[in-house]
Amino acid sequence: MAGALPSPDPKRLLAWYDVHKRALPWRVRRDPYRIWLSEVMAQQTTLAAVIPYYQAFLARWPSLADLAAADAEEVLAAWSGLGYYRRARHLHACARIVAQDLGGRFPESVEGLRALPGLGAYSAAAIAAIAFERPTVPVDGNVLRVVARLFAVTKPLAQAKADLAERAQTLRPRRRFGDFAQALMELGALVCTPRAPDCPRCPWAKACRARAQGIADSLPQKSAKKAKPMLQAVAFLLRRADGAVLLRRRPDTGLLAGMLELPSTPWREKPWNLDDALEHAPPGRDWQESAPPFRHVFSHVSVTLRVVAGRPAGRLAGLWAKPGQWGGLALPSLTAKALARSGQS
Question: Which residues are catalytic, by number?
Answer: 39
Smaller CB separation from DNA, 150 or 310: 150
Beta pairing, strands 319-321 & 302-312: unpaired
Share in percent of the chain as helix, strand, coil (round to 5): 45, 15, 40
* Range 210-229, binding DNA (CB under 7 A): 222-226
Burial grade of 278 (CB within 10 A; 0-12, 13-18, 19 or more): middle
In whole angstroms, the minimum distance from the beta carbon of 4 to DNA comes to: 29
CA–CA separation, 75 vs 67, rounded Å? Answer: 8
Work out whether 188 is an interface residue with DNA (CB under 7 A).
Answer: yes
* Range 245-284, binding DNA (CB under 7 A): 253-257
Work out whether 312 is an interface residue with DNA (CB under 7 A).
Answer: no
Annotate 30-54 with b (16+ C-beta within 10 A) or e (fewer): eebbbbbbbbbbbbeeebeebbebb
Segment interacting with DNA, rule: CB under 7 A, options 67-75, 139-147, 306-314, 319-327: 139-147
Site size with DNA, rule: CB under 7 A: 63
Work out whether 38 is an interface residue with DNA (CB under 7 A).
Answer: yes
Q: Which of 52, 104, 120, 243 binds DNA (CB under 7 A)?
A: 120
CA–CA separation, 186 vs 142, rounded Å? Answer: 8
Contact at 8 Å (CB) between 44 and 86?
Answer: no
Work out whether 43 is an interface residue with DNA (CB under 7 A).
Answer: yes
Picking from 309, 303, 292, the residue whose alpha carbon sits closest to that of residue 333 is 303
Work out whether 49 is an interface residue with DNA (CB under 7 A).
Answer: yes
* Range 316-345, binding DNA (CB under 7 A): 332-334
Smaller CB separation from DNA, 45 or 213: 45
Segment interacting with DNA, rule: CB under 7 A, options 38-46, 51-59, 281-289, 311-319: 38-46
Collapsed DSSP state (helix, strand, coil) of residue 171: coil
Work out whether 52 is an interface residue with DNA (CB under 7 A).
Answer: no
Work out whether 46 is an interface residue with DNA (CB under 7 A).
Answer: yes
Give the helix ranges, DSSP H, for 97-150.
110-114, 121-132, 141-150
List CB contacts of 324: < 8 A, sequence separation 6 or more.
none
In whole angstroms, the minimum distance from the beta carbon of 280 to DNA comes to: 20
Contacts 24+ apart (CB under 8 A), 19-27: 20/186, 20/190, 21/182, 21/183, 21/186, 22/186, 22/190, 24/51, 25/51, 25/54, 25/55, 25/58, 26/54, 27/182
Work out whether 201 is an interface residue with DNA (CB under 7 A).
Answer: no
Smaller CB separation from DNA, 297 or 316: 297
CA–CA separation, 17 vs 133, rounded Å? Answer: 17
Smaller CB separation from DNA, 253 or 288: 253
* Range 64-93, binding DNA (CB under 7 A): 80-86, 90
Q: Which of 121, 199, 231, 244 binds DNA (CB under 7 A)?
A: 121
Residues that bind DNA (CB under 7 A): 24, 38-39, 42-49, 80-86, 90, 117-124, 126, 140-142, 145, 158-159, 161-162, 182, 185-186, 188-189, 194-195, 222-226, 253-257, 295-301, 332-334
